[in-house]
Amino acid sequence: MSELSSLDPVLARLYATRGVTTVAQLDYGLARLAPVSLLDNIDAGVELLLSKRDQRIIVIGDFDVDGATSTALMLRCLRAYGFADVGYLVPNRFEYGYGLTPEIVRVAAGREPALIVTVDNGVSSVAGVRDAQAHGIPVLVTDHHLPGAELPAAEVIVNPNLAGSKFPSRNLAGVGVAFYLMAALGRALEQGGQQGAAKIPARYLDLVALGTVADVVPLDHNNRILVQQGLSRIRKGMAVAGIRALLTQSGRQLTQTVSTDLGFVAGPRINAAGRLDDMSVGIECLLTDDDASAQQYARQLDKINKERRNIEATMREQAFAYVESIDAKKWPSCVCVYEQSWHQGVVGLIASRVRERCHRPVIAFARETEGLLKGSARSIPGVHVRDLLEAVSSMHPDLIVRFGGHAMAAGLTIAEEHYQDFTTAVSDQLERLYPEADFSGAIVSDGVLPESAFCLQFAKSLREAGPWGSGFPEPLWNGDFTILEQRTVGENHLKLRVRRADGGAAIDAIAFNQAGPSYRGVVQLAYKLDVNEYRGVETPQLVVEQISALQNATA
């Protein structure tokens, strides 16, 4: 008998299809985390930090949510541990570029630190580490990105993706790596007599959850523990002031927070600061303990995010116009899009939107500096985009100036004069490496939801069954439904009232950003079952991902 047989049969099937085979894999207690001691070089990292406890330390992060949460987590912990002088720098993407560059090292050196600690970057910063050491500054790299052919000569590198690593969870986000290092440091301090130090990192699991979800790393069991523990703190009102402010200003109930609230509400607002302005606004939002200041930072981030959405809308229209001007049968294996006027901080979002339209890897480019283009790549399951870029770089050494990233997302810089050659080369290499790549865009469904599950109780149980996210997707169902009512709400959303085609009670549905077509009769829906709260009343609701007309439908 399966270990999952004691669960609701629908939930048991959901878990089984997501690789869960034992009830222990659904235990999200902190005791189930992969042991801190197994993370490569973590003891050496702790020793290096302790050796600089009474001197100046500068944390250098990345300009995305993972980098912001990593920076805030490390500063909060180090300061709570009593480290004398801890500050941070985040490279402005428009001035310094990504990572520990020689340019940001020069800025850091002006502060005369005794140690530089990188978070969510550094494993590819060969030149930056070399320059830091030339200034007499040792470097502790904490990162989760895949290393290149050459590692920087840092004093210590803590990264679960180093060659030969036996750490059980290579999917840690940058903030997960930072959490592990701070946990190891806390234990060392407690063993040295600093009572309560070992418990300090767990106070900030809400930061770990936010960074992990927003960076779209796979939610293996270890990451689900980190996210679930962070969500628990948020629901109990124990999150940092900035996360509380970002969620409540957006109309979210803290007690009902789920992983999608982190990925689609709090995350984009912090990300917007790094895309358009200065990520220090987002970091300060996560560092403050003053509610009034947190609210002010949250309003500022919301304003920046609205500006980002306006810029994105214009760029998205231009990108869609380009791909729609080409016969879909002639789309290249890797779609590249570029306009001189595009904002380099937003190209990653455009790559994601075009990928959704074309169902294949996409790289969107903007002008970085005169003669150079900054690209952001987004991939599809089965195509490792960083490996793809490495193959292009190996076969055509002059095409890519620099690159780095993950399986599903990567960044790169190329010379503008090489753009056309690059677009050809990247598609050629994709076809060579991934001849079976699936460009169909087919939606993978969990099947037809039983009639008995169309209720508030089961919708709530699905929320509690998570956390859902990358690699552990939220359940998606399909079925035939009769359209009873429909109307447009908000800017572009389709509000529906539907009933299963084979009978049953009517239920509300919402299709975000799908207003336009008018449907009649029976349609097939691909949907998620969620809980809608309106004026304190909770009801089950279908969140529609796709509508396919079956009969008597008009567009």
Domains defined for the chain, CATH in brackets: 3-10+17-299 (3.90.1640.30), 326-433 (3.10.310.30), 451-549 (2.40.50.460)
What pLDDT is attached to residue 554? 44
What pLDDT is attached to residue 513? 82
147-188 residue pLDDT tens? 988 999 999 999 999 999 999 999 999 999 999 999 999 999
The Cα 300–Cα 450 span in angstroms is 45
pLDDT category, 549, cuts 50, 70, 90?
confident
**Which carries the bigger pLDDT value, residue 161 or residue 533?**
161
Residue 146 has pLDDT above 90, yes or no: no
271-314 residue pLDDT tens? 999 888 889 999 999 999 999 999 999 999 999 999 999 999 99
The 8-class DSSP code of residue 542 comes to E
28-65 residue pLDDT tens? 999 999 999 999 999 999 999 999 999 999 999 988 99
pLDDT category, 203, cuts 50, 70, 90?
very high
Helix ranges restricted to H, 289-345 = 291-324
**Which carries the bigger pLDDT value, residue 93 or residue 467?**
467
Range of 283-287, 408-412, 461-465 with top mean pLDDT: 283-287
Residue 1 has pLDDT above 90, yes or no: no
Residue 553 has pLDDT above 50, yes or no: no
**Which carries the bigger pLDDT value, residue 93 or residue 75?**
75
Cβ–Cβ under 8 Å, residues 494 and 513? no
Cβ–Cβ under 8 Å, residues 395 and 429? yes
Tell me the average pLDDT across 435-457.
92
For the record, the structure tokens of 439 come out as 């460009």
The Cα 465–Cα 356 span in angstroms is 27
Among residues 172, 52, 74, the alpha carbon closest in space to that of 118 is found at: 74
Residue 551 has pLDDT above 70, yes or no: no
Among residues 460, 461, 395, the alpha carbon closest in space to that of 429 is found at: 395
The structure's pTM equals 0.92
487-517 residue pLDDT tens? 999 878 999 999 999 988 999 999 988 887 7
The Cα 6–Cα 26 span in angstroms is 13
What pLDDT is attached to residue 176? 98
Tell me the average pLDDT across 14-25.
93
**Which carries the bigger pLDDT value, residue 343 or residue 63?**
343
What pLDDT is attached to residue 2? 60
What pLDDT is attached to residue 369? 86
Backbone angles phi, psi at 269, to 5 degrees: -70, -40
The Cα 231–Cα 205 span in angstroms is 8
Residue 552 has pLDDT above 80, yes or no: no
The Cα 526–Cα 446 span in angstroms is 10
pLDDT category, 406, cuts 50, 70, 90?
confident
Mean pLDDT, the chain, rounded, equals 93
Percent of the chain surpassing pLDDT 70: 99
